[in-house]
Structure 1
Amino acid sequence: MNIQQAFASALKFQQSGKTEEAARLYGEIAAADPQFAPAVNNLGLLRADAGRDAEAVALFRRTLGLAPGSLNGWINLGALLVRLGRPEEAVRAYSAAIRLKPDQPAVLNQMGIQLERLKRADEARDVLARAAALAPDDAEIANNHGALLRMAHRLNEAVVCFRRAIALNPQYAGAYSNLGSAVKDRGAFWEALLAFRRATRLDPDFAGAHWNESLVRLLLGDFIQGWRGYEWRWKHGRLPSPQRSFVQPRWDGSPLKGRRLLVYWEQGFGDVLQFVRYLPLLAQATVGMAGGQPVYLECQRVLLPLLRRLPGTIAVETGGPLPDFDVQIPVLSLPALFGTRLETVPARVPYLTAEPDLVARWGERLRGLEGLKVGIVWAGSPTHGNDRNRSIGLAPFARLALLPGVSLVSIQKGPTEGQAATPPGGFPLLNLSPDIRDFADTAAIMANLDLVVCVDTSVAHLAGALGVPVWVMVPFAPDWRWMLDREDSPWYPTMRLFRQDRPGSWDGALDRLEHALRSRAAG
């Protein structure tokens, strides 16, 4: 039997599911004629299907060494590299396939997805646009193109893409969910709810749609259904902290009766700072009970010195040994167990306090400032999913520095804190950022300030929890906790909100904030 006949027989075995026979024959062909690229390629496919990934990659690369113009070889290699989580190499493979044959919408689609994973958003968007033009009737490509347009805040175009995907496939739950997110970004919150509900009716286990619906409900003040849906966050799989696994059962809100409770942190610093307000309430509930116990709190290292001061709470650092406990719960599940409604938010402040010695020490640094002492923070964590909408940079604060009777103080931490060393235009700014070690230092500085002005980040929650006056700049489509159409916050009595008038523009909010600060300084 010659090489061509053997290859035909191996192909029949492969197509009929007799993979072992096919692999044996392909191996024999490759051994007899090492230059016969089709056999090497097909053996690579069988090895990939069997989970022998390293062998498969080597075989595909060998195929392409023999036949650099093998379209299937490049596509097969790209698909395997995607599966292996190697997007940069996958993009190179798909790029080679596109150079050989430019009009391949499916390959362009996959290439665009990988470019997005590499944070090369502009390239990804261009590639998906090409795919959509080549395959206007492909619902998946329309949906993926829309997702990238939404990331670029081209919301109207994104909505058009999602509606086209739905028209092409009315059962496409993912497109309904993406449509909900896009119209939410435009401020059409009731329309967003309908889209998320449609997605979950089509796919009852669609965690992302359930969770997004809960966020809109919380934003609209429907706390009862909102907290219930918020539990889908764990199945959504996109939180910065995974759900923990403990032998001890999750607390169901029943009386503790001497059982020791561990509350553990999740998500970001601001989330923890906002919801540890419930721990003193838990501690109060156990006081006087037979065998009453303090509440244990596991938290991030930079929060530990501050949260150790919570009454009735023993705070421990994450990653270290945990105390003995009987039941456990994540901190953001407490509002649901308390049955928190808008009118019953536990808003008494301060529920956090600064260390007196630190307050005195930082007070010396601030003693020489004249007028209103205003702490500023212009950026949140760059890893936050909505950071592009909320962070504004230091430059817009220059107008506040020029107001008579106002002294600005940088309490910014993170990658952008270096901006405070050389403020744009050289405006006056006391830069405390380099010497801030943790949130205990930030709290002590705030105790010496008259006001904090910041973007939507953890500092806003810290100031609110301390009872310090704080003004927060809020994006047009806000995080759920800032709700809608109000300048105050039900969570923090000393907080005032300055909202964007339209997506992407801070002009109106900054104008109102400047006017308010001018009046406050004059008063």
Structure 2
Amino acid sequence: MASRKPVSAEKTLLTAVSHHRAGRLEQAKKLYQDILSGQPHHADANHNLGVIKMQQHQAAAALPYLLKALESQPGNGHYWLDYIEALHLSGETGVARQTFLDACTKGLSGPEATALATRLGMTSHHTAAPSSAEIDTLLRTFNEGQIDAATSHARKLTHQYPDHAFGWQVLAAALQHAGHHAEALPAAQRAAALAPDSATAQYNLGVIHSQLGHPTEAETHFLKSLSLQ
């Protein structure tokens, strides 16, 4: 008698997603786990299993799965959004806010990001933080290559919100992009001081020091960036 051909991960995923969308969470969870038993870094299975954990009010348990998915596909905006949401729901709101800022510098934007910023309390005047609309406008300007406009806008944010890291991060990036490395350094240092747990801020400092011919300082910040990841 011929043996049954094993079901592919893709077919298993389709079945799992069908169960998931229909609200049959336990059936979906088992299938996602089956996929991960053979492919532990499968991005969709990790992400969707993390989402189920969140739906079952287990945000902290969701984090390892969501992080693994994000590490597999760092360009996936939905993975960033769900990971940050899980951080927030698990009580790590401070980390969630900083992760959100890091994600924004990597291109995260749009209505869902704006809504998440609101849930994180990043649009309140009491937080002395730029609004989600200001963040989105600056990121769009920078990502479209309008470096002079982005520099001007970032300077404005650093004056309005001097104790918030975001404006300083983008100002440093814009100045660095324009080749003004010496001017970018103090902005990057300010961003790192305001966001001491940001691996991105430390990495950016390392890059600028390297461009300025400061290998010892560059290595220090690169190593610190790695320790924060």
Query: Could you tell me the TM-score, scaled by structure 2's length?
Result: 0.50
Higher strand share: 1
Q: How does 1:338-349 map to 2 (within 5 A)?
A: none
Query: Within 1, Cα distance between the matches of 2:59 and 2:119?
Result: 18
Query: Within 2, Cα distance between the matches of 1:180 and 1:126?
Result: 24
**Aligned AA for 1:102?**
P
Structure 1 unaligned blocks of 5 or more: 1-34, 37-65, 200-523
Q: How does 1:228-239 map to 2 (within 5 A)?
A: none
Aligned pair 1:153/2:128, yes or no? Answer: no
Aligned pair 1:195/2:132, yes or no? Answer: yes
1:335-379: CA deviation from partner (whole Å, max 9, x where unpaired)? xxxxxxxxxxxxxxxxxxxxxxxxxxxxxxxxxxxxxxxxxxxxx
Instruction: Name 1:92's counterpart in structure 2.
Output: 30
Q: How does 1:28-427 map to 2 (within 5 A)?
A: 66-184=4-122, 188-189=126-127, 191=129, 194-195=131-132
Query: Within 1, Cα distance between the matches of 2:24 and 2:125?
Result: 37
Give the CA deviation at 1:73. Answer: 2.4
CA shift in 2, pair 1:189/1:196, >3 Å: farther
Give the CA deviation at 1:163. Answer: 2.4
Query: Within 1, Cα distance between the matches of 2:107 and 2:60?
Result: 27
**Aligned AA for 1:86?**
R
CA shift in 2, pair 1:67/1:174, >3 Å: same
**Aligned AA for 1:98?**
L
Give the CA deviation at 1:78. Answer: 0.8
Larger radius of gyration: 1
Give the CA deviation at 1:114. Answer: 1.4
Query: Within 1, Cα distance between the matches of 2:134 and 2:25?
Result: 33
**Aligned AA for 2:99?**
C
Is the Cα–Cα contact under 8 Å of residues 111 and 124 in structure 1 kept in the other structure? yes
- Aligned pair count reads 136
1:143-165: CA deviation from partner (whole Å, max 9, x where unpaired)? 11000001122122211332233
Query: Could you tell me the TM-score, scaled by structure 1's length?
Result: 0.24
SS for the counterpart of 1:85 is coil
1:111-156: CA deviation from partner (whole Å, max 9, x where unpaired)? 1111111222222122112222222332221111000001122122
Higher helix share: 2
Query: Within 1, Cα distance between the matches of 2:122 and 2:81?
Result: 17
Query: Within 2, Cα distance between the matches of 1:148 and 1:185?
Result: 19
Query: Within 2, Cα distance between the matches of 1:85 and 1:158?
Result: 28
Query: Within 1, Cα distance between the matches of 2:66 and 2:124?
Result: 23
User: How big is the alpha-carbon RMSD for the aligned residues of Structure 1 and Structure 2?
Assistant: 3.1
Query: Within 2, Cα distance between the matches of 1:85 and 1:191?
Result: 38
Query: Within 1, Cα distance between the matches of 2:68 and 2:124?
Result: 26
Q: How does 1:17-28 map to 2 (within 5 A)?
A: none
Is the Cα–Cα contact under 8 Å of residues 60 and 87 in structure 2 kept in the other structure? no
Give the CA deviation at 1:177. Answer: 1.9
Is the Cα–Cα contact under 8 Å of residues 43 and 68 in structure 2 kept in the other structure? yes
Structure 2 unaligned blocks of 5 or more: 137-229
Query: Within 1, Cα distance between the matches of 2:109 and 2:43?
Result: 22
CA shift in 2, pair 1:71/1:95, >3 Å: same
Is the Cα–Cα contact under 8 Å of residues 71 and 97 in structure 1 kept in the other structure? yes
CA shift in 2, pair 1:187/1:171, >3 Å: closer
Q: How does 1:435-446 map to 2 (within 5 A)?
A: none
Give the CA deviation at 1:188. Answer: 4.2
**Aligned AA for 2:62?**
A
Q: How does 1:462-481 map to 2 (within 5 A)?
A: none
Is the Cα–Cα contact under 8 Å of residues 32 and 45 in structure 2 kept in the other structure? yes
CA shift in 2, pair 1:170/1:124, >3 Å: closer
Instruction: Name 2:141's counterpart in structure 1.
Output: none
**Aligned AA for 1:92?**
K
Is the Cα–Cα contact under 8 Å of residues 139 and 168 in structure 1 kept in the other structure? no
Query: Within 2, Cα distance between the matches of 1:97 and 1:187?
Result: 45
Is the Cα–Cα contact under 8 Å of residues 177 and 196 in structure 1 kept in the other structure? no
Query: Within 2, Cα distance between the matches of 1:198 and 1:88?
Result: 39
